[in-house]
A and B are shown apart, each in its own frame.
Chain A
């Protein structure tokens, strides 16, 4: 038989199964009758009497009923038929228990939904394969120190050379140096780009979707600069123009051709808009860059040599690094713990998200455990009510296997419906979670509900269905008589099953307490954070940053000195532009004050090495450092940063006059703990001065200002120093505009002023101070809110669980309660008895939960702020809250028990 005909036959039979078969039965009947008639007629022709003829024909037929059955079996698929019957039966029973069905589906839906949504994020961000060719061969190198901001300090070119020559396991090693330029045009934007070596794309295993990638011939001086766009930026800024290759763009005034668009991929450590070859930045080809061992601006990605393992690479890198530290003492001060790690690229991409995501996944799993426990409890209770039915079915001949299958089909219908509801919830939840993931991972764009996620949800529901069918009661053959004899009512309270229910309730309470404790601590963290003072006297301010200085030397010079000279020349004009903007903004209605600094308040800034006049640092000791910022005379006033000692900057602090500096309170506490800082002199120091146009001259401290929460509300205060803008180059600038109304209303007017003065200027981070503050705590808040919602979900489900189990216990004890009451127990006593029963479960659950939380919250340590992982107040509040909710859940069944009418109960009603 050919495959086609088998397939056709199978299809017909499935069709035959699903048809009701009434029409087909009639047809068959008619056909068999016709056959019988013809046989009878033939017998008559042979001389039999009509009766004899018919009897004979019937005898020859072999039985019409047998024949009909055989035809019916051939028509459909018998096994499919019985499953269809099961499904019909199951949907009928479920329809008859709408409350049970609804509660189970909703409970499962919430549990499955939360897990599916979070799993889809885990999959997109952590598990899914990368688009890079042989991505598991890619490694990321990270250099870190114990200094502030020392997490990932990048590498210098000499370090890259040492690694390249000393660690053959790294195979091809590509360099990547992040930069920011203004992409000029009608709507100028600041673009984050990577300056890369020609082997970058080959190493990363990424291909162009348009044009070509950079290649080794694009390295070195004397080649034209070229730009490769990322797929995302190409879509977003160039509208996915297929003819973009060959277009010239202006970056900080320099014309660069676009040579290609690279396929979509997650970028690390920063999101980038494009890539350029090194020649675009004179600095990157200068001797200082190439020879300065502490001039660390380069990220390293490498592809392991075929045959080499990660272990080989780590061993080789570690021995090269030890040699480097031995040969260059001065570049690695021993107190700062310089170290290098070799991390698989995929891990590096996921490292910031990993902890948060697994935490959420664990919380969601807890919710699923609680909802599964609830459903198991409900099923057990319902099972008791159905025992009579199942026993009768068994007694009538349904095998145990058949009954199990019946239950499995029923449970599958429940869990699959739960999964469908869960998927609907997950689709909504994923959108919310993408926002969260985007703050932690460059791969947030890859999150979605795909077939693996669907499989995950389906797998969960299958597992749950199996579990539910396993716990359900199925009468065993041979025990039927005893069950029937005992009377169905008697077995309802079977102790062992009630014990299972109680254990489940205790577990639900315990798990809820753990979740609530975590949620409570995270919420406390948010309260603590919102109580942190920004350090600003008012927050009614609009801020934005604007970089007018161009960092590309005209003519593609690679000489740093002539590059500096061109910057110096440009500086005069840039300063004029900033000043004019400041004046015009000040004149806007609604503006109270305007200031200009390198950073807006609450924004982070970089640390620079400093030295103090008359103090020296011991060899091998980490050099002192401080955040460097700049400010104009009205910056502190406009920002609302209080002056604590000395004076603010004023117009006498000009270029050429004595260099001055204002420091913050932490700076004083750190470096002048017991003396007045005013009049003391500090200076920038370190190798970095050789290749920046910053002066290493002594600067006199003329004032002390208050601390501000730069770089985040959860960050410790850092020592900061402010240089007057008039005495420094205007690398960048941030305006602070204090308004007497809603500061965001000033946005259009401010934008207009900026563009009238600097048509190609790209405004960045146009935000009110309130928004900056909000942005710094948003990820934590989202995290806390997610955990708290999961906690709330757990409590709701657990409460339903307690109430349900207790109510059930009351219903099985009606007779007992009736006896007690007729013997003199009053209502209050009965009520107490039931409350006590629930209270014991609750109590055990609380104790276990608090114990679990004691260990569980330790993992949260890194996420907490201003509150300890074992914060007694939170623990007590959580325990009391859970107790109160749990007891009120016990109250309803207790009241019902107290209303039992002894007369009715004793009669067995």
Chain B
């Protein structure tokens, strides 16, 4: 089993939004599973990490929750992206890419000065 990582502050929101964009409305279990899969099980999400993050996104108006029947005929709370959430996702993706580029540039092995 690969080494588990703690999810980094601030990145979880982006992962949740991206997951919902890709898969449409999903319950908390589904979101957690999906994030774990995409991370190749390097990440594992506690409820205590996932649900406050979902609530925060909901409070900010980026996702909307509703109770529905699940595929297995079970009642579950489904989260879906809102229009504001889509915009936020685009913005955060852009910012994240910029930051990642920047950090990558910093960490790249330096060439010796000629």
Contacts and interface: CB of A to CB of B under 8 A. Distances in A.
Contacts of B59: 8-9, 12-13, 74
Contacts of A37: 74
B29 A67 contact: no
B29 A35 contact: yes
B88 A5 contact: yes
A37 B70 CA distance: 12
B52 A35 contact: no
A742 B44 CA distance: 100
A237 B60 CA distance: 60
A8 B55 contact: no
Contacts of B88: 1-2, 5
A61 B47 contact: yes
A69 B56 CA distance: 14
A69 B84 CA distance: 28
B52 A38 contact: no
Contacts of A67: 46-48, 51
**Interface residues of B toward A: which range?**
20 to 34
Nearest to A60: B44
A66 B48 CA distance: 6
Nearest to B31: A35
A37 B28 CA distance: 12
Nearest to B45: A62
Nearest to A34: B76
Contacts of B77: 27, 30-31, 34
Nearest to A24: B55
A62 B49 contact: yes
Contacts of A31: 28, 51, 76-77
Given A5-B62, A8-B61, A34-B77, A62 B55 contact: no
A35 B44 contact: no
B75 interface: yes
Interface string B54-82: 01100111100000001010111100000
Contact of B51 (A2, A9, A12, A71): A71
Given A61-B46, A61-B47, A71 B74 contact: no
A13 B75 CA distance: 26
Contact of B55 (A34, A69, A75): A75
Interface string A1-23: 11001101100110000000000
**Interface residues of A toward B: which range?**
20 to 34
Most buried by B among A5, A39, A69: A5
A244 interface: no
Contacts of A609: none
A69 B47 CA distance: 11
Contact of B29 (A39, A64, A73, A74): A39
Nearest to B77: A31
Contacts of A34: 27-29, 70, 74-77
Contacts of B47: 32, 35, 61-64, 66-67
A70 interface: yes
A179 interface: no
A41 interface: yes
Given A31-B28, A38-B76, A5 B84 contact: yes
Given A41-B72, A64-B47, A5 B60 contact: yes
A31 B52 CA distance: 12
B60 A1 contact: yes
A688 interface: no
Contacts of B49: 62, 70
A28 B28 CA distance: 11
Contact of A74 (B55, B72, B75): B55
A74 B47 CA distance: 13
Contacts of A39: 29
A5 B29 contact: no
Contacts of B55: 71, 74-75
Contacts of A74: 52, 55-56, 59
Interface in B6-59: 27-29, 32, 44, 46-49, 51-52, 55-56, 59
A39 B76 CA distance: 13
A34 B70 CA distance: 10
A60 B29 CA distance: 12
A32 B72 contact: no
A172 to B, nearest CB: 61
A60 B44 CA distance: 8
Interface string A30-49: 11101101110100000000
A39 B28 CA distance: 11
A71 B60 contact: no
Contacts of B52: 70-71, 73-74
B42 to A, nearest CB: 15
B90 to A, nearest CB: 13
A99 B72 CA distance: 63
Contacts of A73: 52
A643 B28 CA distance: 109
A34 B60 CA distance: 24
A30 B59 CA distance: 19
A66 B72 CA distance: 28
Given A5-B88, A39-B29, A71-B52, A62 B46 contact: yes
Contacts of A69: 48
Most buried by A among B59, B62, B74: B59
Contacts of B51: 28, 31-32, 67, 70-71
A3 to B, nearest CB: 11
Contacts of A9: 56, 59-61
A63 B47 CA distance: 8
B57 to A, nearest CB: 9
Interface in A45-65: 60-64
A62 B47 CA distance: 6
B68 to A, nearest CB: 11
A5 B61 CA distance: 7
A12 B55 CA distance: 10
A622 B79 CA distance: 99
22 contacts: A2-B88, A5-B60, A5-B62, A8-B59, A9-B61, A28-B51, A30-B77, A31-B76, A31-B77, A32-B47, A32-B51, A34-B28, A34-B29, A35-B47, A37-B74, A38-B27, A62-B49, A63-B46, A70-B51, A71-B55, A73-B52, A74-B55
Given A61-B46, A62-B47, 7 more contacts: A31-B51, A34-B74, A35-B27, A66-B46, A67-B46, A69-B48, A70-B51
Q: Which A-B residue pairs are the 6 nearest by beta carbons?
A: A62-B46, A67-B47, A67-B48, A74-B52, A9-B59, A5-B60
Interface of A: 1-2, 5-6, 8-9, 12-13, 27-28, 30-32, 34-35, 37-39, 41, 60-64, 66-67, 69-71, 73-75
Interface of B: 27-29, 32, 44, 46-49, 51-52, 55-56, 59-62, 70, 72, 74-77, 84, 88
